[in-house]
Amino acid sequence: MNENNGNDMREVDDKPKRLPPGRRLRAAREIAHISVVEAAGHLRLDPQLISALEEDKYTNLPGAAYVCGYLRAYARLLKLPENEIVQAYTQGEDIKAALIPENVNILPPKRTNRRLLRFGMLSVFMLVIAAGFLWVAEQLHLFEPKVASHTLAVPANTTLSPPPSEQVSPSDTQNIVPTEPAVVTPVADEPPVKPISKNSQELRLKYKADSWTEVKDAQGERLIFRLVEKDSELTLHGTPPLWVLLGYADGVEVYYRGKRFDTSSFIQNQVAIFTLGSS
């Protein structure tokens, strides 16, 4: 009876080893709560290549030597036995390959970027202060337009104007004063419209969630510096290279010169900083 139980335990323990290497890698990744994009970022590989390895689809991948290197690097990242994973793929065939190809680099675990964290906290703090100031200004009517009025001074001994039906002699016209003060309302100048340079490029941002956004052109001029709300869409023009910061990059779709730009490789702690275009 005990012998049968021991055999059953060995069968349970050996079951993962009989799985294809890709399925073992995928199961280990899901247990570690790592996404395909995060794994690709650690290994500096394309997410599609990671998916192909996990699905054991090697037809469109480079040669067997590189596949062995990819599997070995992926297994090392997930703390799986490297030799078992590679042998499950080669099935005993002797394939000479580097342990890790040159373009594979296992990165250390992600650490919180304190500088970006401080910048984000400072930005939120400044935003709260600005919102409070605007609220106080609205309550005190600080931004209401002021009307300039000019009233003609009337001497104490001046008589009132005669009715329109009466004749007025030329000598009496000096005593006629307006019955109401003259009011002059200033006309606000329209802000000048900045012309679009021939070297400018279009940057379009679609927001699926609220995100702090800052964009600067090649001259360092800020095209936007504020929190943009969900369901908004912005179209900016500026001379490249354009420096972009997105406080919540997963909630923003970026289109540069009409084409979708993938920001996933630049995201760290939901913040993405990248440059578009060249001078």
pLDDT tens for each residue of 144-196: 655 444 444 555 555 555 555 555 555 554 555 555 555 544 444 444 556 67
Tell me 169's DSSP state.
-
Topology of domain 2-90, CATH? 434 Repressor (Amino-terminal Domain) (1.10.260)
Angle between helices 21-31 and 64-77 (to 10 degrees): 30
Angstrom CA distances, 189 to 149, 167, 264, stand at: 19, 44, 44
> Is 189 within 8 Å of 145 (Cβ atoms)?
no
Q: Is 245 left (phi over 0), alpha (psi -120 to 50) or beta?
A: beta
Measured distance CA(177)–CA(160) in Å, rounded: 7
**pLDDT of 10:** 45
Q: How far apart are CA 206 and CA 68, in angstroms?
A: 40
Give the β-pairing of 252-256 and 222-228.
unpaired
Identify the pLDDT of residue 133.
Answer: 85
> What's the chain's Rg over C-alpha atoms?
36
- pLDDT attached to residue 167: 53
Question: Which amino acid is located at 43 in the chain?
Answer: L
Vertex 239: Cα angle to 237 and 245 (nearest 5) = 70
Q: Name the 3-class secondary structure at 6.
A: helix
pLDDT at residue 138, as a whole number: 80
What integer pLDDT is reported at residue 215 of this predicted model? 95
The pTM of this model reads 0.33
Is residue 65 within 8 A of residue 104, CB to CB? The reply is no
Ramachandran area for residue 127 (φ above 0: left; ψ -120 to 50: alpha; else beta)? alpha
Q: Is the distance from CB of 205 to CB of 233 less than 8 angstroms?
A: yes
Long-range contact set of residues 260-269: C-beta below 8 Å, sequence gap at least 24: 264/37, 264/41, 264/47, 265/41, 268/110, 268/113, 268/116, 269/110, 269/112, 269/113, 269/116, 269/117
All residue ranges of the chain with pLDDT < 50 are 1, 7-13, 99, 101-109, 147-152, 173, 184-191
Range list of H helices, the chain: 2-18, 21-31, 36-43, 47-54, 64-77, 82-90, 114-139
121-139: pLDDT as tens digits:
888 988 989 888 888 878 7
Do residues 183 and 150 touch, judged by C-beta distance below 8 A?
Answer: yes
Of 276, 203, 197, the C-alpha closest to 235 is 203
Q: What is the mean pLDDT of the chain?
A: 77
Residue count (the chain): 279
